[in-house]
Structure 1
Amino acid sequence: MAKADDSALTELMKQTQAAVTLNPMLRPQIDQYWQMQEKMLREAEAFTKHWFERRHTATETALKASKDAMSGGSDPTDALKTMSDWQQHSMERLVEDFREWVELCSRCAGHVTRAEVEAEVDGLKRTAKQVAASTNTKHSTPV
């Protein structure tokens, strides 16, 4: 039974390969897809790098603010000012997170759109060349 399954799988793979190699529209789709994936990974990597930098800054400044608030003496207004300043900068970091997130989504949507358009244009050009090549025979007889 395994022999029959193997031969059926082999036959399916041959048919799939033939369909992929004969379809001039598919190759550009595949190429553009992986190029777009690479661009999106670079975008996500840059976003997360900046996000982690801001989280490290938040942690470092929170540690400093708590030390300053505790060593500020007996004046509670100094402690409140220190914590208020830290919270203000934290809100600025959150705004920056959101701004970069929106930009990331916009750029990635642009990558997807450009990849789709370029793949379609390239596929149409390939198809046109293939059709032109198949209709240009040297031995045709006019009717």
Structure 2
Amino acid sequence: MEEYIMKTVNVTEQLNAMQRMFLPTSDISDTLRKNTGSYWEDQDKVLDAMQTFANGWFERRHAGTHAALEAAQRMCKAETPVELLREHQGWVSGAFQRLMTDGLACQQQCMAVVGTIAPPLTPLGSEKQAGVSPSESKATARTDAA
């Protein structure tokens, strides 16, 4: 009967051992830590860029409504059709300028987001700094591949 006596099993020790088996190695942990930190930093940069874009857009809309109000008041006071058209043309010119600024800001926003989400594989100018032309680096890559 002594052969069948159960040894006391420490369940906590077994669970801890299993947990250690599934823990990532220190190299993987470091990589995960860097990637996680980088991800949330990039998210913060994207949000900052979006806020800057939105704030600029609202400022231009406010400027547009104020310009439209002032132009409408001047058009109402115009004594000749030429004055009326001049005021209207000035307002349209400002509206078109704000529209072009919106397009440029949108392009810059898209570039900022893409640059944050997918940074270049090599830093810009790294080949120029090293004194290697792009054609030379391609030739070297072809030679290395062969």
TM-score (norm 2): 0.61
CA pair 89-44 structure 1, distance change in 2 beyond 3 A? same
Identity of aligned residues (%): 28
1:116, distance to aligned residue in structure 2 (A): 9.5
SS of the equivalent of 1:33 reads helix
Choose which of 107, 111, 122 in structure 1 pairs with 2:112: 107
Q: Does 1:27 align with 2:33?
A: yes
2-side partners of 1:20 and 1:81: how far apart? 72
CA pair 68-29 structure 1, distance change in 2 beyond 3 A? same
Residues 87-109 of structure 1, C-alpha deviations (whole Å, 9 max, x = no match): 01110111011001101111111
2-side partners of 1:21 and 1:104: how far apart? 39
- Counterpart contact for 1:29–1:116, Cα < 8 Å: no
Choose which of 67, 75, 82 in structure 1 pairs with 2:73: 67
SS of the equivalent of 1:114 reads coil
Residues 123-143 of structure 1, C-alpha deviations (whole Å, 9 max, x = no match): xxxxxxxxxxxxxxxxxxxxx
| Match in the other structure for 1:8 | none
TM superposition outliers: structure 1 runs of 4+ over 3 Å: 18-23, 114-117
1:113, distance to aligned residue in structure 2 (A): 2.1
Residues 19-71 of structure 1, C-alpha deviations (whole Å, 9 max, x = no match): 67874333222111100000111111111111111110100000000010011
| Match in the other structure for 1:85 | 90
Root-mean-square deviation (CA, aligned residues, Å) is 2.7
Choose which of 72, 94, 102 in structure 2 pairs with 1:97: 102
- Counterpart contact for 1:32–1:115, Cα < 8 Å: no
- Counterpart contact for 1:47–1:101, Cα < 8 Å: yes
2-side partners of 1:94 and 1:19: how far apart? 54
| Match in the other structure for 2:62 | 56
Structure of greater relative contact order (alpha carbons < 8 Å, 6+ residues apart): 1
CA pair 19-106 structure 1, distance change in 2 beyond 3 A? farther
Query: Rg larger in 1 or in 2?
Result: 2
Q: Mind listing any 5+ residue stretches in structure 1 that lack a counterpart?
A: 1-14, 118-143
